[in-house]
């Protein structure tokens, strides 16, 4: 996993902004487990979506992290809210780690050699990402903020809402840039075909 660790640390410079060293290490560990079990050659090979490979998952995850941190800063500075920035950063960096399992069948076979026990489309990536965060011991606050689809987790914290909204903003920008359609249009058109 040493190679994966280096890949993850180089792919996500936002890791350096997580103050808590243990949490930073847990985020890296979750990615390493996902990459190993998914059998990925490189973290940059995971696409943003099953039908959008012009943008990597890494680019999307970094965008979500940047958007959420900027929003958290505004909430703190303008509204007096008190978001936990380490939780926001860690949850954003992990919100799509589950794509290591879910997207093994949508790329060229030479990019992956998945473990069939883990790598499957049967479990949505936000839930398998939650499971990876739990497995490596991330705090409950981080785990709770990873599922980003309505109805996946009953209690929505401020940090969870930041992840969910930043994910929507980034995803909408990606679908607009790559396909010329909004995220809701992409969901409507492609949710039945996946």
Summarize pLDDT for 19-34 with one digit per residue, the tens: 999 999 999 999 999 9
pTM: 0.94
Q: For the residues 155-166, what does the mean pLDDT come to?
A: 91
User: 145 with 157: CB under 8 angstroms?
Assistant: yes
Q: What is the pLDDT of residues 78-122, one digit of tens each?
A: 999 999 999 999 999 999 999 999 999 999 999 999 999 998 888
Query: Do 120 and 101 form a contact (C-beta atoms < 8 A)?
Result: yes
Question: How many Cβ atoms sit within 10 Å of the Cβ of residue 94?
Answer: 28
pLDDT band at 178 (very low <50, low <70, confident <90, very high): very high
Instruction: Supply the DSSP string of the chain, one letter for each residue.
Output: -HHHHHHHHHH-GGGGG---HHHHHHHHHHHHHHHHHHTBS-GGGSEEETTEEEEEHHHHHHHHHHHHHHHHHHHHHHH-----HHHHHHHHHHTTTTHHHHTGGGS-GGGB---TTT--SSS-HHHHHHHHHHHTT--HHHHHHS--STTSSS---HHHHHHHHHHHHHHHHHHHHHHSS-HHHHHHHHTTT-
Predicted local distance difference test score (pLDDT) of residue 132: 97
Given a cut of 60, whether residue 50 has pLDDT beyond it is yes
Angle between helices 158-179 and 57-79 (to 10 degrees): 130
pLDDT at 156: 81
Between 109 and 151, the higher pLDDT residue: 109
Structural domains of the chain ordered from first start: 2-190 (1.10.3210)
The confidence band for 194, taking pLDDT boundaries of 50, 70 and 90, is: low
């Amino acid at each position: 996993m040493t190679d994966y660790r280096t890949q993850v640390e180089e792919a996500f410079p936002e890791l350096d902004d997580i103050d808590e060293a243990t949490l930073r290490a847990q985020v890296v560990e979750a990615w390493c487990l996902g990459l190993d079990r998914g059998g990925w050659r490189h973290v940059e090979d995971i696409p943003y979506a099953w039908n959008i490979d012009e943008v990597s998952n890494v680019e999307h995850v970094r965008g979500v992290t940047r958007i959420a941190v900027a929003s958290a800063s505004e909430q703190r500075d303008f509204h007096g809210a008190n978001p936990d920035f380490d939780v926001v950063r860690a949850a954003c960096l992990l919100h799509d780690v589950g794509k290591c399992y879910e997207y093994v069948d949508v790329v060229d076979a030479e990019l992956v050699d998945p473990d069939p026990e883990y790598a499957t489309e049967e479990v949505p990536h936000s839930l398998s990402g939650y499971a990876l965060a739990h497995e490596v011991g991330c705090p409950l606050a981080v785990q709770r903020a990873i599922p980003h689809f309505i109805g996946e987790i009953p209690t929505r914290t401020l940090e969870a809402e930041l992840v969910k909204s930043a994910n929507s903003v980034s995803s909408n920008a990606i679908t607009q840039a790559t396909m010329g359609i909004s995220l809701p249009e992409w969901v409507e058109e492609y949710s039945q075909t996946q």
